[in-house]
Amino acid sequence: MRGKLLHLWSRLRSSYWFVPTLMAAGAVVLSLATIEVDRRWGDGLHLAWISLDQASARAFLTTVAGSMITVAGVAFSITMVALTLASSQFGPRLLENFMRDRGNQVVLGTFIATFLYCLLVLRVLKLGESGTVPEVALSTALLLTLGSLAVFIYFIHHAAMSIQVQTLVAHVAAELETSLDRLLEDAEEERGERGEAERRLVGRVAAEGATVCADDSGYVDEVEAARLEGLAADHGLVVVCVQKPGQFVVAGTPLLHVLRVDGDGGSAGGGDGDRAGAGAADLGDDGELAGKLRRAVPLTGRRRPGNVEFIVSQLVEVAVRALSPGINDPFTAINCIDLLGAALARFARRPPPRPVRRDDAGRLRVVLPDVGLEELLDAAYDQIRQYGRGCVPVTLRLLERLADLASRAAPGADRDAVLRHAEMVRRSGVEALPEPYDRQAVEERYRWVLAAAA
C-alpha cells in the first residue's frame, strides 16, 4: 500500500494539472469569500484605490481575465518548447524533472486562478445597472493581477535557466546525493559484513526455501521492507529479496526466497541450530501468504524517479548524448563525470549498508538486496567509457575521478572494482589514442589511481 501511495504521489507531482487544479479551487473559494464580505460589510468600506463604477469594474475584470488566459497560453507554449529541447538534447528520461518542476506548475496555476477569479467576480456585476461596486473583490483582483505580473517575470527567468545544461545536471546531481543519503540512513543501524552463521542461513533460504515469483512483468517499484518484516514475524519466516527497486522482471521471475523456521529460528546469528521447519511445498500451498508476500514487492510499468540507479542513468544519458557526433560536447560529459564521481566518493566514505530487518526479539527476518559500490560504478562509468572511447579529456577525467574514489573505497571488493574500471579506461585509451603524448597522459593518470589505492 505504501508503495502504491508513493507511486501515486509521484505521478501527481509530475502532472501539470494537480497544482493548477488546487489553485483554481482556491480561486473559487476566494471569489465566494470576497463577494460575501462585500455583501455583508461593503457599504461601510470605502477603499481609496478602488474608485470605479459598475461599467469600469466590468471593463477592468474583462481585461484582466482575457490577458491572463492569453499569458497562460504563452507560458504553456514556452514550456512545451523547453520540453521538446530537453527531450532531443538531454534525453526523454529527463522530462520527468521538467514535469515535476513546481515553479512551472505554480506559474500556470497562478494565471488560471486569476482568470477564473475574475470571471466569478464578473458575474455579480450586472450590465447596464448601477449599484455598489464590490471593492474588496476588485482589490483582490488587482492584487492577483500584480502578483501574476511578478510570476510572469519569474517564469521568463526560470525558463531561461532551466534549459541550461549546467542547471539541469546540477539538479539531477543534487537529487542523486539526496537519494544516496536516504539509502544510507535507512541502513544506519544495520551495517558491516554479515557473520558466517548469518551467511549460512541466507544461503539455506535460497537453497531450501520456497520461491515467490512475479505474476506479471514490470519494474520493481519498491521493496516494502516493513511489510515483509511483519509477515515474516507473524508466520515464522526468513525472507530473502532477489530483485532490487528499479529492476525489470518478467512474469515467472523469482522475487523472493522464503523459508519457514522453528519458533526459535531465524535468529540474528542464524546458526546451525536453526533448523528449517515447513519448506517450499507448504508455502506453495499457502496461496494467500504467497500473494501477500508478492504484493510487498509491487511492480509498475515504468521506473519510478528517486531510485539511485535511475538517477545515475539520467546523468549517464546526458553524458552519452553529449559525446554523440551530432552534439560533440565533451565539456558536458566531463561535468557529468565529476558529479558522478563526487556522489560515488560520498557513498564510498560510508560503511557499506547491511540491508537486513529483524523482529523485536532480534531474529533475522528480511534480507534486502545489496546496493554496493561495484554496481554503482558499473552503472555510472561503463557507458561513458564506451561512448567516450578516443576522447582524450573524457578518458583523463575518468581516471582522475577513479583516483579520488580509490583513496576512499574500502579494501576488498570495492577497491578491486575501482581498479578494474581504471584498467579498462587505461586499456581503452591506450588502444584508441594515436598520439603518444596522449597515451603517456593516460598512463600517468592510471598511476595516480594505483598510488591512491596503495
In degrees and rounded to multiples of 5, residue 366 shows phi and psi of -135, 135
Quick: pLDDT tens for 301-321. Answer: 777 666 788 889 889 999 999
CATH architecture for segment(s) 196-300 = Alpha-Beta Complex (3.90)
For 39-64, give one letter per residue: b (16+ CB within 10 A) or e. eeebeeeeeeebeeebeebbebbeeb
22 pLDDT higher than 70 = yes
User: Which pLDDT band holds residue 145 (cuts at 50, 70, 90)?
Assistant: very high
Looking at residue 180, its pLDDT comes to: 82
47 pLDDT higher than 70 = no
For the ranges 153-157, 160-164, 382-386, which has the lowest average pLDDT? 160-164
335 pLDDT higher than 60 = yes
Quick: pLDDT tens for 119-140. Answer: 999 888 865 555 677 888 888 9
Q: Please state the domain extents for the chain.
A: 2-163, 196-300, 308-349+371-453
Looking at residue 267, its pLDDT comes to: 41
Looking at residue 278, its pLDDT comes to: 38
Whole-number percent of the chain with pLDDT over 70: 83
Quick: pLDDT tens for 75-97. Answer: 888 888 877 877 777 777 777 77
Looking at residue 428, its pLDDT comes to: 92
195 pLDDT higher than 70 = no
Quick: pLDDT tens for 362-388. Answer: 778 888 887 788 888 999 999 999 999
Looking at residue 10, its pLDDT comes to: 64
For the ranges 84-88, 109-113, 115-119, 320-324, which has the lowest average pLDDT? 84-88
CA–CA dist 387, 303 (Å, integer): 24
Looking at residue 4, its pLDDT comes to: 59
28 pLDDT higher than 90 = yes
150 pLDDT higher than 80 = yes
DSSP β-ladder status, 210-213 and 356-358: unpaired
26 pLDDT higher than 70 = yes
Looking at residue 447, its pLDDT comes to: 94
Looking at per-residue pLDDT, the higher value among 122 and 351 belongs to 122
CA–CA dist 214, 200 (Å, integer): 26
Looking at residue 352, its pLDDT comes to: 60
224 pLDDT higher than 90 = no
Looking at residue 5, its pLDDT comes to: 64
Reduced 3-state DSSP string for the chain: CHHHHHHHHHHHHCCCCHHHHHHHHHHHHHHHHHHHHHHHHHHHCCCCCCCCCHHHHHHHHHHHHHHHHHHHHHHHHHHHHHHHHHHHHCCHHHHHHHHCCHHHHHHHHHHHHHHHHHHHHHCCCCCCCCCCCCHHHHHHHHHHHHHHHHHHHHHHHHHHHHCCHHHHHHHHHHHHHHHHHHHHHHCCCCECCCCHHHHHHHHHHHHHCEEEECCCCEEECCCCHHHHHHHHHHHCEEEEECCCCCCEECCCCEEEEEEEECCCCCCCCCCCCCCECCCHHHHHHCHHHHHHHHHCCCEECCCCCCCHHHHHHHHHHHHHHHCCCCCCCHHHHHHHHHHHHHHHHHHHHCCCECCEEECCCCCEEEECCCCCHHHHHHHHHHHHHHHCCCCHHHHHHHHHHHHHHHCCCCCCHHHHHHHHHHHHHHHHHHHHCCCHHHHHHHHHHHHHHHHHHC
Looking at residue 14, its pLDDT comes to: 65
User: Which pLDDT band holds residue 287 (cuts at 50, 70, 90)?
Assistant: confident
